[in-house]
Every structure is written in structure tokens, then in C-alpha cells.
């Protein structure tokens, strides 16, 4: 929305329009962070504070880089800085850190708000998957821009249920443009999946001034069903009379959000289909947090293809890719559904084994080693794996655990390859005597 555009909605004063926009923002699933042109934080809504663990006083005057940490991707930050210096707009994702040190994945957009002369007065950062929104210090233009840029669908009806406003997110989810639904009732989305009892309960809540939230099956403009988490909230005037209803819909069917497909692509290795290193680092962080909270350990396997460089140099990269994919298939076949198989880089792989003790981890590792040793690759012949196994410890760090399992892997290499070595005594669990 252009910041010079009037905030008035059809048939409403600017004051009532601002009231509706403010109320819409307060119940959005997104969070909002506002900085000045110097990138210093001038506002963070409660949803943002809940997400990060920082209070508003902690954030005011700070640079958002305070949220960065070891897993924050520098290339994304560099791209963001370059974009803000040119177009002023940016969208991307990386790892940030809460006040308590725990990492989280954030996806965000940054948009400039310009004054009448075109100068940048603010930057707005809108972030996903947050259930509440409150923006006390924002201007009407900031609220309007935040609502229109929201990933969630937002529409506003009058007290009679006639739609007066719908944002771009509504069009993305339902297929209906704002022009097609303004002046109509939400029944245009009706799928027929809910009976009269459901709607009686809905209106009983709303008529009493209470918000209503439920999973609702709507129908897309193209005819297919969309399963939405929908929140409907009454808006009252100063006299306590309900004047409008604000609805926020979140598509739970994953049919219309292309960014979810991009997220899947960004987290998986294109050759093997396994998690890539970046996603693996996140999984390792999460596993350590869960282990510490539950006072339970987990195990980590690190495996490397023996003499892979010689195979690549002799038989070419296509044959090397075939072997890498074979290892990935074996890892998926020999591990549990709850395990995380990761292509760590090149010919190196990691397997995260949650709620797994060392004996079970050694058994899984040996099954992987044996399955690979039994494989045959035409002229390349028999290819083997060396595997290191380590168990997490109290107050472990990702770096410390990775260093230990890496030591076991290289111990397996030094002892002759094609074997599993554990952290207990760095002696091989089992080996093929033919090597």
C-alpha cells in the first residue's frame, strides 16, 4: 500500500478505518519490528518479544543484529544489507537466537516506508508464525502496510456480515481478489462441510462479543477445499456495540504457499534428497535442547566414503554421484523413521539418532557399514564406509559433539577403514577382515 493512500475504508471515517486496521493488526499471526533509517529499533510488538524472549526495553535503540549468532548465515545478512541500500526491500530466512540462547528459524520481509519527498523514514520487518500482533507506536500507514503484506488472509465485515475489506493474503489463500468479495458475505467461501450446529455455535460466541477460533473447511475460487485455521473477532465501538468483525484465515493445507515448497528445497540436498548441512545444524541444535530438557541422551553417526577421491578421479563424477546416492539410500533404509540423515558435505554424512543409547547406535552403524560393503558398483567394484559414533553429554555443544564424532571417524580411517569406531575406547566395533 502506498503510504500516501488514504486510510479510509468504504463508508467509514479515517478514525474508524484506523480502529479497524489497528484491531486487525493486534490479532494477526505475524509479528512486527520497526526500525528507523539508521536501523535502530524504535518499536517491537509483543508477538516479537514473545518470539525472541527480549522485552521492549531490551530492544529499543538496538540493532536487530543482536539476534544473530553462530548459525546465522552471513551471506543472507550481506544480501539484506545490499538490498536495503538499493531498493530498500528484502525477504529471506536464516537462524536467529532468543535471549536464552536457543536458535530459531525466522522468515521475514523488510519494506521501507517513505515520506512525501521519497525519503525512507522507517523500515518494517514482518515475520511469520506469530499469533498476536500489537503495534502501539505505529502510524496508520504502518498498520495498513503490515496488514496488506501479511501472509495470513485478513478480511473485515460490517455488523451484518458484509465484507468491506480483504487483503492480498486473502486472495492468495482463497483465489478471490478483494474486488470480487467486497460487498458480499463470507458465505461465498462456504464448502458445505459444516452443519447448522457449527454456525449456531459460531454466532453465539460472536453475538456475546467473544472471539471464535476453529478449523474451517472453506472452498477456493477454483473449487478445491482449503482447510483454514480461522479466527473471527468482534470489534466494538466506544458504546460497546459490535460494529465489525475481523477474520484472519491461515491456510493449513499447504496448497497455495509456494514458499513452503522453497523451504523444502532449501533444506534438502538436491542430489540425495537428504537434509543438507544447514538444516542438519538446526536439527542438531534442537536435539541438544531437547536432550537437556528431558535429561536424555542421543547419538550421532558420522560416516565417510573410503577412498572416494580416487574413485572420483578414476571413474568420473557421474560414478561418484551414483555412489553418494547409494550411500544416502542405505542410510535411509537402515535407520529409523525418527532419525535424521544429513549430507554434511561431499562424501561425508551425519545421522542424528534421537532417544538412542550407544549400543543401539553401534548396531545401526554396523548395519549401515555392512550394507555398503555388500554393494557393488560395476567397474568401481566394492566401496566401503568408515563410521564414527558419539553419544551426547550433559551441557554438550554442537561443536563439542561434532568434534568427538569426527575423532571417532578419523580413528576408523587410521585403523584401516571399513569399520565402526565408538567414543568408549576408540577400538573398532567390527571390521571386514578382507580389507
CATH number at residue 415: 3.30.70.270
What does the pLDDT average to over 152-163?
A: 89
Provide the domain limits for residue 219. Answer: 151-256
Convert the pLDDT of each residue in 196-226 to its tens digit.
888 888 888 888 888 898 889 899 999 988 8
Adjacency order of strands within the sheet including 428-431: 340-345, 348-353, 299-305, 385-391, 419-422, 428-431
7 within domain boundaries: yes
In sequence order, the 6+-apart residues with CB closer than 8 A to the CB of 433 are none
pLDDT score, position 136: 33
Q: How sure is the predictor about 13, in pLDDT bands with cuts at 50, 70 and 90?
A: confident
Q: How sure is the predictor about 258, in pLDDT bands with cuts at 50, 70 and 90?
A: low
CATH number at residue 27: 3.30.450.20
Q: Are residues 23 and 132 in the same domain?
A: yes
Q: Are residues 356 and 389 in the same domain?
A: yes
> Residue 371 above 90 pLDDT?
yes
Task: Please tell me which residue, 143 or 335, carries the higher pLDDT value.
Answer: 335
Q: Are residues 200 and 327 in the same domain?
A: no
pLDDT score, position 122: 85
Instruction: Name the average pLDDT for the chain.
Output: 83
pLDDT score, position 347: 94
Last residue of a domain, one of 223, 256, 289: 256
347 an active-site residue?
yes
356 within domain boundaries: yes
> Residue 337 above 60 pLDDT?
yes
Share of the chain above pLDDT 90, in %: 35
Q: Out of 35-44, 260-269, 287-296, which region has the weakest mean confidence (pLDDT)? A: 260-269
pLDDT score, position 426: 47
Q: Are residues 120 and 197 in the same domain?
A: no
323 within domain boundaries: yes
Q: Out of 190-194, 312-316, 345-349, 377-381, which region has the weakest mean confidence (pLDDT)? A: 377-381
Alpha helices in 295-391 (DSSP H): 308-315, 317-334, 358-373
What does the pLDDT average to over 289-298?
A: 85
Which of 164, 281, 347, 391 does the annotation list as catalytic? 347
Cell readout for 44 is 517491537
Q: How sure is the predictor about 26, in pLDDT bands with cuts at 50, 70 and 90?
A: low
Q: How sure is the predictor about 430, in pLDDT bands with cuts at 50, 70 and 90?
A: very low
For residues 277 and 342, give the distance between their C-alpha atoms in angstroms, rounded to a whole number.
Answer: 7
Q: Are residues 227 and 107 in the same domain?
A: no
The total domain count for the chain is 3
Task: Please tell me which residue, 155 or 140, carries the higher pLDDT value.
Answer: 155
For residues 251 and 127, give the distance between their C-alpha atoms in angstroms, rounded to a whole number.
Answer: 16
Share of the chain above pLDDT 70, in %: 84
- In 3-state terms the chain splits into helix, strand, coil percentages (rounded to 5) of 40, 25, 35
Q: Are residues 202 and 279 in the same domain?
A: no
Query: pTM here?
Result: 0.42
8: left (phi over 0), alpha (psi -120 to 50) or beta: beta
pLDDT score, position 114: 85
Last residue of a domain, one of 231, 256, 281: 256
Q: Are residues 191 and 224 in the same domain?
A: yes
How buried is 315 (Cβ within 10 angstroms: 0-12 exposed, 13-18 middle, 19+ buried)?
middle
What does the pLDDT average to over 229-258?
A: 81
How buried is 64 (Cβ within 10 angstroms: 0-12 exposed, 13-18 middle, 19+ buried)?
buried
Last residue of a domain, one of 230, 256, 282: 256
> Residue 161 above 50 pLDDT?
yes
35 within domain boundaries: yes
Q: How sure is the predictor about 255, in pLDDT bands with cuts at 50, 70 and 90?
A: low
pLDDT score, position 312: 87
262 within domain boundaries: no
Alpha helices in 335-429 (DSSP H): 358-373, 398-414
Q: Are residues 160 and 230 in the same domain?
A: yes
Convert the pLDDT of each residue in 86-120 to its tens digit.
887 888 888 888 888 877 778 888 888 888 888 88
For residues 144 and 124, give the distance between their C-alpha atoms in angstroms, rounded to a whole number.
Answer: 11
Cell readout for 415 is 585403523
Rg (CA), the chain: 27
What does the pLDDT average to over 9-21?
A: 69
Q: Are residues 99 and 118 in the same domain?
A: yes
Q: Are residues 249 and 105 in the same domain?
A: no
263 within domain boundaries: no
Q: Are residues 300 and 404 in the same domain?
A: yes
Q: On the CB side of 184, how many CA atoms lie within 13 Å of its CA?
A: 12
pLDDT score, position 390: 95
Cell readout for 345 is 558435505
One-character DSSP codes across 220-284: -TTS-EEEEEEEEEEEE-TTS-EEEEEEEEEE-S-SS-HHHHHHHHHHB-TTT-SB-HHHHHHHH
372 within domain boundaries: yes
Task: Please tell me which residue, 89 or 6, carries the higher pLDDT value.
Answer: 89
261 within domain boundaries: no
End-to-end CA distance of the chain: 68
Cell readout for 207 is 453475538
Q: Are residues 121 and 179 in the same domain?
A: no
pLDDT score, position 427: 43
Amino acid at each position: 500500500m502506498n503510504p500516501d493512500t488514504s486510510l479510509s475504508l468504504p463508508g467509514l471515517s479515517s478514525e474508524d478505518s484506523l480502529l479497524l486496521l489497528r484491531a486487525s493488526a493486534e490479532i494477526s499471526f505475524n509479528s512486527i519490528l520497526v526500525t528507523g533509517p539508521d536501523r535502530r529499533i524504535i518499536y517491537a510488538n509483543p508477538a516479537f518479544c514473545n518470539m525472541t524472549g527480549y522485552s521492549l526495553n531490551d530492544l529499543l535503540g538496538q540493532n536487530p543484529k543482536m539476534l544473530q549468532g553462530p548459525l546465522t548465515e552471513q551471506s543472507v545478512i550481506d544480501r539484506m544489507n545490499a538490498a536495503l541500500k538499493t531498493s530498500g526491500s528484502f525477504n529471506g530466512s536464516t537462524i536467529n537466537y532468543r535471549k536464552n540462547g536457543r536458535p530459531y528459524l525466522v522468515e521475514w520481509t523488510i519494506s521501507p516506508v517513505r515520506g512525501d519527498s521519497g525519503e525512507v523514514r522507517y523500515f518494517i520487518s514482518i515475520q511469520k508464525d506469530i499469533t498476536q500482533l500489537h503495534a502501539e507506536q505505529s502510524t496508520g500507514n504502518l498498520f495498513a502496510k503490515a496488514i496488506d503484506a501479511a501472509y495470513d488472509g485478513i478480511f473485515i465485515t460490517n455488523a451484518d456480515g458484509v465484507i468491506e475489506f480483504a487483503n492480498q493474503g486473502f486472495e492468495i489463500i482463497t483465489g478471490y481478489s478483494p474486488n470480487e468479495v467486497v460487498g458480499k458475505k463470507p458465505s461465498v467461501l462456504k464448502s458445505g462441510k459444516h452443519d447448522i450446529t457449527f454456525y449456531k455455535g459460531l454466532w453465539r460466541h460472536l453475538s456475546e462479543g467473544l472471539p471464535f477460533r476453529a478449523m474451517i473447511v472453506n472452498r477456493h475460487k477454483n473449487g478445491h477445499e482449503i482447510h483454514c485455521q480461522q479466527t473471527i473477532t468482534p470489534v466494538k465501538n466506544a458504546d460497546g456495540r459490535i460494529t465489525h468483525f475481523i477474520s484472519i484465515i491461515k491456510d493449513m493445507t499447504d496448497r497455495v504457499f509456494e514458499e513452503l515448497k522453497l523451504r523444502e528445497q532449501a533444506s534438502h540436498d538436491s542430489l540425495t534428497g537428504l537434509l543438507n548441512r544447514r538444516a542438519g545444524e538446526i536439527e542438531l541444535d534442537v536435539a541438544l535442547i531437547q536432550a537437556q530438557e528431558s535429561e536424555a541422551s542421543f547419538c550421532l553417526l558420522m560416516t565417510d566414503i573410503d577412498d572416494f577421491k580416487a574413485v572420483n578421479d578414476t571413474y568420473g563424477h557421474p560414478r561418484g554421484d551414483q555412489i553418494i546416492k547409494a550411500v544416502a539410500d542405505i542410510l535411509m533404509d537402515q535407520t529409523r523413521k525418527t532419525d535424521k540423515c544429513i549430507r554434511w558435505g561431499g562424501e561425508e554424512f551425519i545421522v542424528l539418532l534421537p532417544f538412542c543409547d550407544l549400543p543401539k547406535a553401534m548396531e545401526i552403524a554396523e548395519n549401515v557399514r555392512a550394507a555398503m560393503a555388500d554393494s557393488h558398483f560395476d567397474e568401481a567394484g566394492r566401496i566401503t564406509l568408515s563410521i564414527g559414533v558419539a553419544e551426547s553429554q550433559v551441557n554438550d555443544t554442537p561443536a563439542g559433539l561434532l568434534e568427538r564424532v569426527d575423532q571417532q571417524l578419523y580413528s576408523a580411517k587410521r585403523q584401516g577403514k571399513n569399520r565402526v569406531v565408538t567414543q568408549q575406547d576408540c577400538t573398532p566395533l567390527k571390521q571386514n577382515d578382507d580389507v
